Amino acid sequence: MGGFFLEFSDFLFQFYGIVIIAFWPVIFIFLIYTVLKFIKLTKERNNYLSEISQELKKYNEKLS
């Protein structure tokens, strides 16, 4: 029972090694894409928040 599991995990380890070696460019590009997407979303959110703060400043100036 234990021997089968060890052989199976060894096979999985080799399999994942082959997959990573074969597809590392795809994984790399996907990681870069994800990071750039996150940076873009963060910038958009910051722009949105700064617009809101500008509106609030105008509103406060009208009140005072």
Residue 39, in any domain of the structure: yes
Domains held by the chain: number: 1
Q: Determine whether 53 is exposed, middle or buried from the number of CB atoms within 10 Å of its CB (0-12, 13-18, 19+).
A: exposed
CA–CA gap between residue 14 and residue 19 (Å, rounded): 9
What confidence tens digit (pLDDT) does each residue in 34-54 have?
Answer: 999 999 999 999 999 999 999
Residue 15, in any domain of the structure: no
Specify whether the CB–CB gap between 11 and 4 falls below 8 A. Answer: no
pLDDT of 2 > 60? The answer is: no
Domain assignment of residue 36, given as a range: 24-64
* Structure tokens given for 58: 């105008």
| Buried b / exposed e along 31-41 (16+ C-beta atoms within 10 A) | eeeeeeeeeee
Q: Is the overall model pTM greater than 0.95, yes or no?
A: no
